[in-house]
Amino acid sequence: MRAGLVRPAGTWPDWSLDTITLDGEDRHRRRAVLTTDGGTEFLLDLPDATWLRHGDGLQLDDGRMIKVQAAPEDVVDITAASPAALVRIAWHLGNRHLPTQLLDNGLRIRRDHVIEALVELLGGTMEARSAPFDPEGGAYGHGRTHAHEHGHEHGHSHGHGHGHGRDHRHHDHDHDHAHDHHHGHGHPVHKDGQAS
């Protein structure tokens, strides 16, 4: 069996053959042999790497559908005392290219003690939990996201004069791209959100 088409959540009738439960890392795919929750093996064969979202349908060549389920992950839900404080936290997460899910009144990230300490310094309130993680799509991600977008090179400077080249090969696909920025910038962040 082969699935070559993704139907976005809410655009297909849920008469799925089966489900497949994947965590966030495993939901960024182009081509892989996968096994449904019911034990059926199939080939996911998409034209481009795609971020599969909770509720999406993978259409098999015979028209049947497999429903994507987001597996619970160790995440932190972040809230803040004011919209401005939450925007400040979101800015710092985005500046670090951190996959972030937008909630009705907050943000959700994967557990990371360094980032959690930063959020606390910025005045955020956190609640650790196990929940599906469905981060927001990036500007270049065609509505999908990943820690770094793939298939293109990008370079930009934050004016700090720091740079590094990295070869990120930590998933089932390769994606090399140059960075002309430093994620941490080496500047401590104070409680007011300003770097020294």
Write the pLDDT tens digit of every residue in 39-50: 999 999 999 999
The pLDDT value recorded for residue 187 is 46
71-147+178-188 has which CATH code?
3.30.70.790
| pLDDT at residue number 193 | 52
| Residue 103, token pair as written in the block | 């909630």
Would the pLDDT of 72 be above 90?
yes
What is the domain partition of the chain in residue ranges? 2-70, 71-147+178-188
* Chain segment 154-183, per-residue pLDDT in tens: 344 444 444 443 333 333 444 444 444 444
**At the fourth CATH level, which superfamily is domain 2-70?**
Urease metallochaperone UreE, N-terminal domain (2.60.260.20)
- Cα end-to-end span (Å), the chain: 57
Q: Is the pTM of this model over 0.95?
A: no
Percent of the chain, pLDDT > 70? 70
Residue 24 binned pLDDT confidence (cut-offs 50, 70, 90): confident
pLDDT at 185: 45
